[in-house]
């Protein structure tokens, strides 16, 4: 007897009347538009019922959607039909099905779509096909359970061409049990289970792109938008948004006390939590040309409250802050920022969700990392890593089906700054993510095998991965296929999974039903991470394609420069009792901001990484310029040879700053040292510089401010000096000249007196 399976409520799709024209003579395979030409049509599916077939399902498969003319010419003689291939029996067969590489020899009758379809127009369709039995071309002839690749095939005749296949969409249909061929008939066989349920672990990601603009202490959170009147993150957490749907799927399918709950661990980006917490208190949206008030404060509060309730008593895995690219940071030698990302992520997750997050476990982007990063993570007490099997030297234990845990070697510290090795003899282990499931869920398109890129106006033809209905159907089919293999399953959807709430719900619902019917059993991620791997260890492999998409060295070099400046400012700044602001409050957000520039969200988006890093650099430059030399309105006048220089320094920061002043060497001026000087917060201070002047006249001197560590502050200032003082040499010369003149005058007087006497 087949176990009872609760099915997701499916919309009723009316049956399409069979065409009156005799189409049975149509060829099994239609000509296909040749590659290299522009695509002419696209199929967009909107409904499939049932999503998973059981012995109690209706004996009919129903498909709904629409056909869109994306070309530049009218199309006539449109007809659409459903086909299937043999049930998948290997990973390769699943991969080919997900990629749309199907023969699908079992065909059904073409159903015509009447009329002409002009460029830019669309037409809805509905297919209703028997699962088994019936006459030739009326049924898919599914008599055995399994996971079947289906193909929705569109034929048509474009202007100036012949009848050809214009587009197709492939998807996987899991069949757990074969329903009766007719109402009241005898059900067919059911899918065979393994002797022991397949262990299942699910990592449920909640992350978003770090579209946040730097802001200072006390300033509201500011988010970036590409266009006015849009609020992207608010749209994701609003009802019907992506993040709302992912959280809603957890709430609906894995409520407190659910048997599936033990298998699910929620992976969260702490930056997302921090941003939503800030949004809940009011925020702004920056767009090209202006700034507006954010509209999602209430939704941010609601979403965070819902998440707190959903994760109580559940496994929570914190991602690195901003989901920073740990490999790029490690390659740049920024191990301190690696530690900052991991430690801050753990702290924020605990503080903002009120849970004790899972520590010692890391999920690298795409499950890939190199040996240097592995060593750095060992020093940060990371003992278990979620890895893609393609990122390790051998995946033999996993492919043999007995375990998905492998020992890792090479995780000893390779950096002098990493001084915390794993305790005792504990070795690092790799927890192998199921790559087949991840790729099938990443293939959110169920896209057509159209013969080229869509043509037509870009505004009418949205690009990028579709996120509509049925985007997770391949994932459902792959999960059922995997559940019957007996191989342990570690299911991890893509990090920023672009799936609607209905699709996320369908995936978890399928997992729950597989658990209920004994195909799978829950396995907790903390227990899996604590497993000791049997057999010899293996090394990690970092594929060249992963390196190509990594955050660029140019970005990490700029991050390193900014990191060094922040270190220096940290030493130079002090708490000012009048302002009562700790330097860390001012500088820590900037330090965390550096991680936003190296987020894995920007992999393969170098312009976004550079833009985000440049914004942080600009903010840091603003701090550096906030301490400066005040330019005097005119030249300094030095009345005496030992008159001091009076230089005014302004500090507009809310913390005190220790500064060092240096003057350029100038002939006729010798300045003394003043040592470090403290300039209070939001005030000015006049520095008295001892000086000796050895010449009169006007001349210039360059003055520079810096931190004790040498980081320049403000801009170099050129001071004009006017000296009316006489130096020692000048006085001596003047005195000598006066004495000579006196002697000459006296001599002349004496001579005149003598001449007068001689004349008398």
Q: For residue range 74-101, what is the model confidence (pLDDT) as tens digits?
A: 999 999 999 999 999 999 999 999 988 8
What confidence tens digit (pLDDT) does each residue in 438-493 have?
999 986 544 333 333 232 322 222 223 334 689 999 999 999 999 998 889 999 99
Q: How confident is the model at residue 672 (pLDDT cuts 50, 70, 90)?
A: low
Whether the pLDDT of residue 24 is over 50: the answer is no
Beta partners for residue 165, in sequence order: 32, 155
Cβ neighbour number for residue 20 with a 10 Å cutoff: 7
Classify residue 595 as left (phi > 0), alpha (psi -120 to 50) or beta.
Answer: alpha
> Cβ neighbours of residue 215 under 8 Å, at least 6 residues apart?
221, 222, 589
Beta partners for residue 155, in sequence order: 79, 165
Cβ neighbour number for residue 465 with a 10 Å cutoff: 13
How, if at all, do strands 384-387 and 429-432 pair? parallel
Please state the rounded mean pLDDT for residues 728-739: 57
DSSP label at 600?
G
What confidence tens digit (pLDDT) does each residue in 366-404 have?
999 999 999 999 999 999 999 999 999 875 444 444 578
Which position has the higher pLDDT, 391 or 757?
391
Which pLDDT does position 691 carry in this prediction? 75
Torsions phi, psi for 98 (to 5 deg): -65, -35
Q: How confident is the model at residue 579 (pLDDT cuts 50, 70, 90)?
A: confident
On the 0-12 / 13-18 / 19+ scale of CB atoms within 10 A, 514 is buried
CA distances from 360 to 440, 538, 711 (A): 29, 19, 37
Q: Of the ranges 256-260, 360-364, 464-468, which one carries the lowest mean pLDDT score? A: 464-468
Whether the pLDDT of residue 10 is over 90: the answer is no
Closest by alpha carbon to 38, among 462, 450, 465? Answer: 450
Closest by alpha carbon to 244, among 474, 443, 505, 599? Answer: 505
Which pLDDT does position 467 carry in this prediction? 43
Distance CA 661, CA 674 (A): 8
Structure pTM? 0.84
Which pLDDT does position 9 carry in this prediction? 40
Q: How confident is the model at residue 103 (pLDDT cuts 50, 70, 90)?
A: confident
Distance CA 616, CA 593 (A): 6
Q: Of the ranges 82-91, 161-170, 232-241, 373-382, which one carries the lowest mean pLDDT score? A: 161-170
Q: How confident is the model at residue 411 (pLDDT cuts 50, 70, 90)?
A: low
**How many Cα neighbours within 13 Å face the side chain of 479?**
29
Which pLDDT does position 632 carry in this prediction? 83
- SS3 of 540, please? strand
As a three-state string, the secondary structure of 243-284 is HHHHHHHHHHHCCCCCHHHHHEEEEECHHHHHHHHHHCCCEE
Which pLDDT does position 395 carry in this prediction? 54
Distance CA 267, CA 318 (A): 6
Q: How confident is the model at residue 703 (pLDDT cuts 50, 70, 90)?
A: confident
Whether the pLDDT of residue 739 is over 70: the answer is no
Q: How confident is the model at residue 266 (pLDDT cuts 50, 70, 90)?
A: very high
Cβ neighbour number for residue 120 with a 10 Å cutoff: 14
Torsions phi, psi for 260 (to 5 deg): -75, -20
CA dihedral 326, 327, 330, 331 (to 10 degrees): -150
How, if at all, do strands 60-69 and 122-130 pair? antiparallel
Query: Cβ(227)–Cβ(459) under 8 Å?
Result: no
Distance CA 251, CA 206 (A): 14
Token duo for residue 677: 């000087």
Which pLDDT does position 28 carry in this prediction? 34
Whether the pLDDT of residue 681 is over 90: the answer is yes
Secondary structure (DSSP) of 666-684 = BTTEEEPP---EEE-TTEE
Token duo for residue 494: 């893509």
Cβ neighbour number for residue 266 with a 10 Å cutoff: 26
What confidence tens digit (pLDDT) does each residue in 587-622 have?
999 999 999 999 999 998 999 999 999 999 999 999
CA distances from 349 to 16, 270, 272, 355 (A): 52, 6, 10, 7
Which pLDDT does position 725 carry in this prediction? 55
Distance CA 283, CA 546 (A): 36
How, if at all, do strands 198-206 and 520-522 pair? parallel
Buried b (16+ CB within 10 A) or exposed e, 651-669: bebbbbbbbbbebeeeeeb
Which pLDDT does position 716 carry in this prediction? 84
Whether the pLDDT of residue 275 is over 50: the answer is yes
Which position has the higher pLDDT, 509 or 422?
509
CA distances from 144 to 57, 148, 192, 537 (A): 14, 10, 11, 42
Q: Which residue has the tokens 């061929």?
A: 181
DSSP label at 459?
T
Angle CA 393–397–401, to nearest 5: 135
Which pLDDT does position 669 carry in this prediction? 75
Torsions phi, psi for 169 (to 5 deg): -130, 135
Which position has the higher pLDDT, 697 or 490?
490
Which pLDDT does position 169 carry in this prediction? 92
For the chain, the residue count is 760
Which pLDDT does position 723 carry in this prediction? 73
Closest by alpha carbon to 102, among 29, 27, 24, 43? Answer: 29
pLDDT mean across residues, the chain = 84
On the 0-12 / 13-18 / 19+ scale of CB atoms within 10 A, 409 is middle
Which pLDDT does position 421 carry in this prediction? 56
Distance CA 230, CA 412 (A): 48
Whether the pLDDT of residue 678 is over 70: the answer is yes
Please state the rounded mean pLDDT for residues 427-443: 91
Distance CA 64, CA 109 (A): 16
Whether the pLDDT of residue 158 is over 60: the answer is yes
Cis-peptide into 756, omega within 30 deg: no
For helices 242-253 and 297-311, angle between their N-to-C axes, nearest 10 degrees: 30
Cβ neighbour number for residue 269 with a 10 Å cutoff: 29
Q: How confident is the model at residue 754 (pLDDT cuts 50, 70, 90)?
A: confident
Query: Cβ(454)–Cβ(70) under 8 Å?
Result: yes
Which pLDDT does position 181 carry in this prediction? 83
Query: Cβ(619)–Cβ(593) under 8 Å?
Result: yes
Distance CA 495, CA 441 (A): 11
Whether the pLDDT of residue 582 is over 60: the answer is yes
What percent of the chain has a predicted confidence (pLDDT) above 90?
A: 63
Beta partners for residue 429, in sequence order: 384, 407
Whether the pLDDT of residue 269 is over 70: the answer is yes
Token duo for residue 679: 């300039």
Secondary structure (DSSP) of 284-316 = EEEETTEEEE-S-HHHHHHHHHHHHHHHTTSEE
Which pLDDT does position 357 carry in this prediction? 97
CA dihedral 460, 465, 471, 476 (to 10 degrees): 170
What is the arrangement of strands in the sheet containing 361-362, beginning at the earlier edge strand?
A: 361-362, 384-387, 429-432, 405-407
Query: Cβ(43)–Cβ(65) under 8 Å?
Result: yes
């Amino acid at each position: 007897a087949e176990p009872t399976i609760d099915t997701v409520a499916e919309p009723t799709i009316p049956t399409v009347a069979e065409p009156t024209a005799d189409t049975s003579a149509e060829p099994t395979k239609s000509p296909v538009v040749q590659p290299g030409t522009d695509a002419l049509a696209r199929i967009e599916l909107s409904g499939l019922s049932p999503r998973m077939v059981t012995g109690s399902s209706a004996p009919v498969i129903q498909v709904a959607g629409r056909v869109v003319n994306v070309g530049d010419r009218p199309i006539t003689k449109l007809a659409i039909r459903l086909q299937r291939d043999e049930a998948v029996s290997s990973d390769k067969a699943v991969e080919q099905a997900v990629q749309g590489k199907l023969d699908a020899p079992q065909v059904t009758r073409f159903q015509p779509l009447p009329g002409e379809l002009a460029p830019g127009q669309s037409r809805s369709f509905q297919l209703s096909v028997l699962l088994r039995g019936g006459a030739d071309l009326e049924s898919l002839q599914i008599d055995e359970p399994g996971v079947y690749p289906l193909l929705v095939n569109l034929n048509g005749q474009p202007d100036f061409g012949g009848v050809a296949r214009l587009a197709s969409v492939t998807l996987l249909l899991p069949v757990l049990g074969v329903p009766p061929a007719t109402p009241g008939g005898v059900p067919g066989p059911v899918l065979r289970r393994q002797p022991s349920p397949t262990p299942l672990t699910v990592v449920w990601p909640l992350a978003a792109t770090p579209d946040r603009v730097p802001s200072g202490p006390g300033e509201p959170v500011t988010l970036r938008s590409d266009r006015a009147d849009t609020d992207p993150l608010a749209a994701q957490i609003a009802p019907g948004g992506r993040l709302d749907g992912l959280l809603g799927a957890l709430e609906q399918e894995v409520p407190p006390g659910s048997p599936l709950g033990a298998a699910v661990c929620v992976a969260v980006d702490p930056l997302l939590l921090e941003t939503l917490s800030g949004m809940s208190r009011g925020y702004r949206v920056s767009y090209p040309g202006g700034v507006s008030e954010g509209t999602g404060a209430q939704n941010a509060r609601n979403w965070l409250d819902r998440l707190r309730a959903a994760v109580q008593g559940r496994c929570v895995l914190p991602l690195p802050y901003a989901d920073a690219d740990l490999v790029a940071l490690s390659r740049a030698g920024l191990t301190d920022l690696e530690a900052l990302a991991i430690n801050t992520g753990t702290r924020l997750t605990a503080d903002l969700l009120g849970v004790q997050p899972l520590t010692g476990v890391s999920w690298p982007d795409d499950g890939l990392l190199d040996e240097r990063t592995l060593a750095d993570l060992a020093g940060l007490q990371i003992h278990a890593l979620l890895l893609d099997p393609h990122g390790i030297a051998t995946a033999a234990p996993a492919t043999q089906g007995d375990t998905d845990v492998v020992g890792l070697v090479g995780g000893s510290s390779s950096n002098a700054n990493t001084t915390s090795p794993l305790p005792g003899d504990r070795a690092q282990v790799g927890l192998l993510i199921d790559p087949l499931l991840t790729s099938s869920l990443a293939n959110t398109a169920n896209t057509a095998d159209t013969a080229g890129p869509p043509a037509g106006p870009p505004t009418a033809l949205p690009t990028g991965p579709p996120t509509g209905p049925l985007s997770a159907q391949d994932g459902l089919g792959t999960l059922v296929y995997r559940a019957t293999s007996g191989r342990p399953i570690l299911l991890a959807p893509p990090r920023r999974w672009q799936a609607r709430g209905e699709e996320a719900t369908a995936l978890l619902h399928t997992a729950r039903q597989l658990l209920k019917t004994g195909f799978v059993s829950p396995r907790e991620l903390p227990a899996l991470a604590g497993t000791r791997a049997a057999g010899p260890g293996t090394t990690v492999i970092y594929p060249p394609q992963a390196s190509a998409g990594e955050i660029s060295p140019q970005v990490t070099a700029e991050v390193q420069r900014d990191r060094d400046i922040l270190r220096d400012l940290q030493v130079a700044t002090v708490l000012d009792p009048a302002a009562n602001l700790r330097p860390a409050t001012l500088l820590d957000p900037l330090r965390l901001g550096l991680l936003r520039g190296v987020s894995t969200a920007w992999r393969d988006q170098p312009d976004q990484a550079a833009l985000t890093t440049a914004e942080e650099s600009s903010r840091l430059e603003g701090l550096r310029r906030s301490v400066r030399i005040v330019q005097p309105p005119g030249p300094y006048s030095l009345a005496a040879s030992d008159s001091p220089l009076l230089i005014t320094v302004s500090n507009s920061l809310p913390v005190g700053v220790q500064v060092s002043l240096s003057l350029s060497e100038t002939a006729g001026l010798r300045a003394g040292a003043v040592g470090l000087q403290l300039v209070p917060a939001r005030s000015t201070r006049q520095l008295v510089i001892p000086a000796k002047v050895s010449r009169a006249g006007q001349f210039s001197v360059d003055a520079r401010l810096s931190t004790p560590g040498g980081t320049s502050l403000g801009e170099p200032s050129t001071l004009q000096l006017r000296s009316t003082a006489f130096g020692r040499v000048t006085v001596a010369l003047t005195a000598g000249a006066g004495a000579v003149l006196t002697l000459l005058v006296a001599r002349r007087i004496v001579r005149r007196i003598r001449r007068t006497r001689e004349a008398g």
